[in-house]
Amino acid sequence: MTATICGTGSYIPSYTMDNHDIAKLVDTSDEWIRERTGIARRHIIQNETTVSMAAEAGRRALEDAGLPPEEVDLILVSTISSNLILPCAACEVQKELGAVNATCFDLSAACTGFVLAYNTAMAYLTGGIYRTALIIGSESLSNLTNWKDRGTCILFGDGAGAAVLRAGDFGKAVGTYLPVTHSDGGRGAALTCKSRHDYNGLNCHKGSGDDVSYYMQMDGQAVFKFAVKNVPEVIGEVLALNHVDPEEITYYILHQANRRIVEVVAKRLGEPMEKFPMNLEEYGNTSSASIPILLDEMNRQGRLRAGQKLVLAGFGAGLTWGASIVEWRSLRQ
In this structure, is the dihedral angle defined by the CA atoms of residues 276, 58, 137 and 71, taken in order, positive or negative? negative
What angle do the packed helices 30-37 and 259-269 form, to 10 degrees? 20
Residue 223 touching ligand UT7 (CB under 6 A): yes
Which runs of consecutive H residues, i.e. helices, occur in the chain?
Answer: 19-23, 30-37, 50-65, 89-97, 113-126, 220-241, 259-269, 280-283, 290-300
Q: Give the separation between CA 135 and CA 276, rounded to whole angstroms.
A: 22
User: For ligand UT7, what does the binding mask look like between residues 188 and 217, x meaning CB under 6 A?
Assistant: ---x--------------------------
- For 139, the 3-state DSSP assignment is strand
Q: Which one of 88, 111, 153, 193 is the catalytic residue? A: 111
Give least dist CB 16 to ligand UT7, A. Answer: 18
Residue 182 bears catalytic tag: no
Give least dist CB 36 to ligand UT7, A. Answer: 4
Q: Which one of 230, 255, 258, 299 is the catalytic residue? A: 255
Q: Give the separation between CA 121 and CA 131, rounded to whole angstroms.
A: 10
Give me the residue whose beta carbon is nearest to ligand UT7. 220
Size of the residue set binding ligand UT7 (CB under 6 A): 19
Decide if 135 contacts 61 (C-beta within 8 A).
no
Residue 279 touching ligand UT7 (CB under 6 A): no
Q: Which of 52, 140, 258, 324 binds ligand UT7 (CB under 6 A)?
A: 258
Give least dist CB 230 to ligand UT7, A. Answer: 12
Q: Which of 8, 10, 19, 37 binds ligand UT7 (CB under 6 A)?
A: 37
- Closest Cα to residue 77, out of 122, 2, 5, 135? 135
Residue 77 touching ligand UT7 (CB under 6 A): no
Specify the residue, 7 or 318, whose C-beta has the smaller distance to ligand UT7. 318
Specify the residue, 17 or 72, whose C-beta has the smaller distance to ligand UT7. 17
Specify the residue, 75 or 109, whose C-beta has the smaller distance to ligand UT7. 109
Candidates 93-101, 147-155, 177-185, 204-212; binding stretch for ligand UT7 (CB under 6 A): 147-155
Contacts of 271 (CB under 8 A, 6+ apart): 246, 249, 252
DSSP state of 47: S
Residue 111 bears catalytic tag: yes
Residue 242 bears catalytic tag: no
Give least dist CB 224 to ligand UT7, A. Answer: 4
Q: Give the separation between CA 205 and CA 202, rounded to whole angstroms.
A: 9
DSSP state of 32: H
Which runs of consecutive H residues, i.e. helices, occur in 242-326?
Answer: 259-269, 280-283, 290-300
Specify the residue, 55 or 265, whose C-beta has the smaller distance to ligand UT7. 265
Q: Which one of 19, 258, 285, 299 is the catalytic residue? A: 285
Q: Give the separation between CA 49 and CA 189, rounded to whole angstroms.
A: 28
Positions marked catalytic: 111, 255, 285
Question: Which positions lie near ligand UT7, rule CB under 6 A?
Answer: 28, 32, 36-37, 111, 150-151, 154, 191, 218, 220-221, 223-224, 227, 257-258, 285, 316
